Amino acid sequence: MPELPEVETVRRGLAPAMTGAVIAQADVNRPDLRWPFPDGMAERLTGQTVLGLRRRSKYILADLSGGETLLIHLGMSGRMLVSGDPLGQFAHEHPQAEKHDHVVLHMDNGARITFNDPRRFGAMDLMDTATADQHKLLSILGPEPLGNAFNEAHLIDAFDGKNSPIKSALLDQRIVAGLGNIYVCEALFRGGISPTRKAGRIAKPRVAALVPIIRDVLSEAIEAGGSSLRDFRQADGELGYFQHRFDVYGRENEPCRTQDCNSAIQRIVQSGRSSFYCKSCQT
């Protein structure tokens, strides 16, 4: 599933084609994805100007001139692709329609935004912009890891007395929004912390040190266009490249990249998810 860097990469790719443009026509080609689409979604989108695109955790939020916000979640295999952009940001002409093109937005500037999702685990919803933070998918979220509210004091307080492994704690969207399996593995490696350590038993200085590490990992991944594993593509159809920088994720039995470390990367399963780490470097 795309994590924060992948979603942010898609948001930045969509912005030049959508911000300030009018949705001249919205085609909704099925009644649902993971959940049913809101009533009259095509009619409610058609004619709306996109005032701006935001990201909250792993959701893209398109604020519309009529006072509603379109929420987009890519799910496991969803892709938002841009074609025919008159601003010259994208070189792709409009492709032929595909079987899994579930929502298509025809912009008045000539761009076409296509939401393609073979597995149909993605989602779209419409909500009042003024109360968007109260939406059931957004109201439970913790602070953004690249924002000021995610700081050393917050993480130390969130971990205080917590008996779950730190890997699970960092994946808890109530503690920090947008982190997923890939980037938690990478951040814990850089922090030298084993994913099996109990969150509440890690020294406060080590917890505090994780905050800038998490920010650095996410920022580097965004700069690289995210990580392309299986289905992820940027909005122009290109791949991300951060997967070539992985220190641990997906590198089971490969040598640790730390200088003078002779250990191999190990994989364990925690709560049904693979954790990759170096047993020598992470304690």
| Positive or negative: CA dihedral 240, 116, 273, 158 | positive
- For residue 68, indicate whether it is catalytic: no
The tokens for 76 are: 């496991």
Parallel, antiparallel or unpaired: strands 112-116 and 101-107 = antiparallel
Bridge partners of residue 125, in order along the sequence: 71
- For residue 99, indicate whether it is catalytic: no
Q: Which of 44, 162, 273, 279 is catalytic?
A: 273
One-character DSSP codes across 76-133: TT-EEEEE--TTSS--PPPPPP-TTEEEEEEETTS-EEEEE-SS---EEEEEEGGGGG
Q: Which of 58, 79, 112, 190 is catalytic?
A: 58
Q: Residues 126, 69: contact at Cβ < 8 Å?
A: yes
Q: Residues 123, 156: contact at Cβ < 8 Å?
A: no
What contacts 228, CB < 8 A, 6 or more positions away?
A: 239, 240, 241, 243
One-character DSSP codes across 145-170: TTSTTS-HHHHHHHHTT--SBHHHHH
Q: Which of 2, 16, 145, 195 is catalytic?
A: 2
CA 78 from chain center: how many Å? 12
- Taking each continuous run of H as one helix and of E as one strand, the counts in the chain are 6, 10
The tokens for 88 are: 């010259």
- For residue 2, indicate whether it is catalytic: yes
- For residue 162, indicate whether it is catalytic: no
Pick from 182, 180, 206: nearest CA to 192:
206
CA 186 from chain center: how many Å? 15
Active site residues: 2-3, 58, 273
